A = this chain, B = another copy of it.
Amino acid sequence: MKPKILAAAAAVTSTVLAATLALAGNYTAPAADPLVKQASTVNKPLPAPDPALRTTPAGKAQVKLGKMLFHDPRLSKSGVISCNTCHNLASYGVDNLPTSVGHGFVTGPRNAPTVFNAALHFRQFWDGRAKDVEEQALGPILNPKEMAMPASNDVLARLTTMPEYVALFKAAFPGQEQPISYPNLGRAIGAFERTLLTPSRFDRYLRGEATALSAQEKRGLKMFLDIGCAQCHSGPAIGGQVFRKFELPGREGEGDLGRFTVTKDPNDRYVFKAYSLRNIGRTYPYFHDGSVWDLREAVRLMAKIQNNRELTEAQTDDITAFLNSLTGTIPPDALQLPVLPPSHPNTPRPSL
């Protein structure tokens, strides 16, 4: 790989991050409402997507290309599984399964997180092993239990035979000697994912629209803040900013070691990234193992395990009502399917 190319790509990524942070940073909590003030100490409204992704020719081309790649099952060995199979944009970026079904109808070890607002997380995957969505996107393609491509070169071998993809990569990564590369594939999918932001009523509330939440939702928000949920479920994604230890009661010491599998640090046993609560009402079943289907039950369990609080039925209802106010609007662009480029007779074929 050429350092020049990497530097150029890093510059684009930095611009995206800087713009995102700048937009989030512009936010000042309205002074009037004490609950808004309290919420604003930990939660921020959703930033707007980086304008460069909508206005610059390269940014627009990256998003367009990224959307095609996101929906293209030819990124999988079988030709059956696309990113969208497990991160279905029609169901808030998830598959609503405990753990996803991949190549060979084999189930994976962890619940598939939503791609909506994922670009705002501080790290990617439940164990944080990828630093951003650009890096994350490249993992499942090569995972034998997911899309099962034998190697990144096999992915490139498919893409380079399709003239439409060749032209799109060239437009998305202008001036590069080899626009079709595996890192650029991640960059394009990442650019698309950075547009997948879902503004909700809670954002309007944080920006000062007092009636955007109902009385019950405000009670739930107050409880959410007072018992300490927002310590982990913080920032613009209402989560996705910290690692925390998490074990389901009665199952301590079992199963998934979480971030320990990445760091081998004993302190990281059973440590996972705190989930983003945006659209949480739609991203059931819950937790890294997808073992809990009912949001009320997940709320009750989390309060007990993480905050040592036994919630009343009414308190559970209130917090659940607040969490449902985080169900946002999917941008119409995200729901517009691309028309995928045709394969060429020389395109390496799918195989099972």
Residues of A within 8 A of B (CB): 71, 73-74, 78-80, 85, 88-92, 95-97, 101, 103-105, 107, 281-282, 284, 293-294, 330, 332, 335-340, 342-343, 345, 349-350, 352
Contacts and interface: CB of A to CB of B under 8 A. Distances in A.
B89 A101 contact: no
A322 B294 CA distance: 55
Contacts of A104: 105
B105 A79 contact: no
Given A85-B85, A91-B340, 10 more contacts: A73-B95, A88-B340, A92-B339, A96-B350, A104-B105, A105-B352, A284-B342, A293-B345, A294-B345, A335-B336
Copies of this chain, tallied across the complex: 2
**4 nearest A-B pairs in the assembled complex, by CB-CB distance:** A105-B105, A335-B337, A294-B345, A90-B337
A346 to B, nearest CB: 9
Contacts of A103: 105
Contacts of A350: 96-97
A94 to B, nearest CB: 11
Given A90-B337, A294-B345, A79 B95 contact: yes
B85 A343 contact: no
Q: Majority SS of interface residues in chain A?
A: loop
A51 to B, nearest CB: 24
A255 B349 CA distance: 23
Contacts of A101: 78, 80, 352
A290 to B, nearest CB: 11
A336 B74 CA distance: 21
Contact of A337 (B85, B89, B96): B89
Instruction: Output the residue of A92, A107, A330, A340 with the most chain B CB within 10 A.
Output: A340
A79 B352 CA distance: 21
Contacts of A338: 90, 335
Contacts of A79: 95-97
A89 B88 CA distance: 14
A80 B101 CA distance: 7
A96 B343 contact: yes
Contact of A339 (B80, B293, B335): B335
